Chain A
Amino acid sequence: MASTPTSTPAPKTNRLGLQVIDYRGGKTTLCAGCGHNAISERVIDAMYEMGVQPERVLKLSGIGCSSKTPAYFIARAHSFNSLHGRMPSVATGAVLANRSMLSLGVSGDGDTASIGMGQFIHLMRRNLPIIYIIEDNGVYGLTKGQFSATADLGSKQKSGVINDLPAIDTCALAIQMGATFVARSFSGDKKQLLTMLKAAIAHRGTVMLDVISPCVTFNDHEGSTKSYKYVQEHEEAVAEVGFVPHFEDIAVDYDPGTTFDVRMHDGSHLRLRKLHEDYDPTNKINAVKNLMEAHEKGEVLTGIFYIDTQKPNFVDLLQMTETPLAQLPQETVRPPKRVLDEVMESLR
């Protein structure tokens, strides 16, 4: 019997014909085992699996270990490493200038909840189309492990110091401020994080994704509430996250009694199967209540807490043109002389 000729299988590609290598970036310079590296990997996988054109992605960040990570994924995307806590301003400008871009902002708990708090809350209330990831480890890693504003009350620093200030819950804050996709995940939960990121790509509004991402150097010890061990032992998912992208024609049965089906802006479907009795991702009050209760119990609540696909986003609200501003012809952006003359005449 003649043997079948064998050949090297063609590399796996996505719907654009791109390989996962087309979504990679530079080699990471963060510590081995850092949660942030796992998040970068999931971003690469999500963009690849969703078939996002790398050139249509805009990477933005502030300052900190987290904000270095855009250098480690999607090298074919423009990236802007802005000032500390000021990424929301740069992101707002960039998105308004070209609404066709998919913008991905990476921040940290210090960059967001301390120096950038003023910018953060205003970004949330604008519902700007952006995926805003907080790589949250509860400490300032670049400056040797001081507590950040998301460190839990009673958490122990590596030096033994106990945190005596309450934590800011960025998810509760984002829900209150008006973000339309608010979730928390854990860098060690590969499946949940990847699914959330894919759903985030399908959303056209502010996605606020707080990812607990342990700092192996300064906050992974006994007594820390942001260590791998603590989060693994105390993680409580409010719902199981499933995602069916619009380009995959898969009919998956679900029980409407236990599962919320959310149709995303691009036609994809998000399926949220309840794990908590009173889980309702369309109810803000419930979502915040669950978060507050989890704090009381010392649980790390994860999942998509709140989603609203109907609220107008900032670019729609401002009626921004589809054409990138830089490509608008002069006759569109500069009113004719007659208009200036009329204004001048009215001031006589």
Chain B
Amino acid sequence: MLFPGSVAECFSMATQAFDLAEQLQTPIFVLSDLDLGMNNWMSEPFPYPEKPLQRGKVLSAEDLERLGGFARYKDVDQDAIPYRTLPGTDHPGAAYFTRGSGHNEKAQYSERPDDYQNNMERLARKFETARSYVPRPEVVEDRGEKIGIIAYGSSDFAVRESRDQLKREYQVRADYLRIRAFPFSREVHEFVSKHERVYVVEQNRDAQMLSLLKLDLNASHTPKLHSVRHFNGLPIDARSVTDDIISQEGR
């Protein structure tokens, strides 16, 4: 899942989403929000995508001839991403059957518990691989303050302004990391571990990003997390963030 924080990032993440979908062989969601999608924004010109398209692990008829065949769900490279073929590959060994029910490494129907478990475990490992493929978070500032703020999407603008208000009005300094993808990469874990208190700002009643962080972080770090939520139907504003953080800081 990718979280663009600006219209320019919506553009670049759309390209990245296609690359990631083919590399990881999984659907990628670009989680834009209403504020980015429906309102007019000032933006720097969008950057032209310079990197070549990533097509992931695809075997051709020649590859199959050389290898003598393939197993659709076999973890050959130890990254849990198997090789695939495309329909229309003219080789008798190219075809495979995509199905939701139990299957073995060769994509054959199977009701064997070990086949099922192997597949489920491979998918979990693939999720680990994905951590290093997805866009890194933007560490906006990390100056070793006690307080850290984590946000994503269009909350970015309110958080940037709120940090100025906190400093100017309350002499509270807060570091800031903007999450750009799930699963979380190493930087997100490091950011939380370096701070005493981390405010997770989101425009979400159920604090779903906070919940995802709690599931992912080492349990000893989860008490550091505090929630700042905004869900009154209007875009989040800096004053709401500032007031909530100051209140939770007991100031």
User: A: which residues have CB within 8 A of B?
Assistant: 26, 53-56, 58, 70-71, 75-81, 83, 94, 98, 100-101, 324, 326, 330, 333-334, 337, 340-341, 344
Contact = CB atoms under 8 A, between A and B. Distances in A.
Given A324-B88, A326-B55, A330-B53, A55 B94 contact: yes
A76 B88 CA distance: 11
A80 B72 CA distance: 13
Contact of B95 (A26, A78, A341): A78
B233 to A, nearest CB: 29
Contacts of B100: 81, 83
B53 A100 contact: no
B116 interface: no
A94 B86 CA distance: 10
Give the interface SS of chain A, mostly helix, strand, loop or mixed: mixed
B223 interface: no
Interface residues of B, dominant DSSP = loop
B92 A76 contact: yes
B109 A98 contact: no
17 contacts: A56-B88, A56-B90, A58-B87, A70-B97, A78-B87, A78-B95, A78-B97, A79-B96, A80-B98, A81-B99, A83-B100, A98-B86, A98-B87, A98-B88, A326-B58, A330-B52, A344-B45
Nearest to A340: B48
Contact of B89 (A55, A333, A337): A55
A55 B96 contact: no
A74 B78 CA distance: 32
A94 B109 contact: no
A341 B45 CA distance: 8
B95 A79 contact: yes
B49 A101 contact: no
Contacts of A70: 97
B170 interface: no
Interface of B: 45-46, 48-49, 52-53, 55, 58, 85-92, 94-101, 108-109
Given A78-B97, A81-B97, 5 more contacts: A78-B85, A78-B87, A98-B86, A330-B53, A341-B45
Nearest to A78: B87
Contacts of A26: 108-109
Most A C-beta atoms less than 10 A away, residue of B91, B92, B95, B109: B95
Which of B58, B98, B100, B109 has the most chain A CB atoms closer than 10 A to its own CB? Answer: B98
A344 B46 contact: yes
A95 B109 CA distance: 25
Contact of B98 (A79, A98, A340): A79
Contact of B86 (A75, A83, A326): A326
The 5 A-B pairs with the shortest beta carbon distances in the complex, nearest first, are A344-B45, A78-B87, A81-B99, A337-B48, A79-B97
Contacts of A75: 95
Most buried by A among B53, B87, B90, B92: B87
A330 to B, nearest CB: 6
A100 B88 contact: yes
A83 B96 CA distance: 17
Nearest to B100: A81
Contacts of B48: 337, 340-341
B92 A55 contact: yes
Nearest to A335: B48
A78 B94 contact: yes
Contact of B90 (A55, A334, A340): A55
Most chain B beta carbons < 10 A, residue from A56, A71, A76, A78:
A78
Contacts of B89: 55
Contact of A76 (B49, B55, B95): B95
A80 B85 CA distance: 13
Nearest to A344: B45
Contacts of B85: 78
Nearest to A53: B90
Nearest to A63: B100
Contacts of B94: 55, 78
Contacts of A77: 95
Contacts of B88: 55-56, 78, 98, 100-101, 324
B95 A94 contact: no
Contacts of A334: 49, 53
A221 B87 CA distance: 42
A190 B85 CA distance: 35
A100 B89 CA distance: 11
Nearest to A77: B95
Contacts of B91: 55
A26 B106 CA distance: 14
A71 B94 CA distance: 15
Nearest to A25: B97
A195 to B, nearest CB: 27
A333 B49 CA distance: 12
Nearest to A103: B87
A16 to B, nearest CB: 12
A78 B96 contact: yes
B67 to A, nearest CB: 17
Contacts of B53: 330, 333-334
Contacts of B55: 326
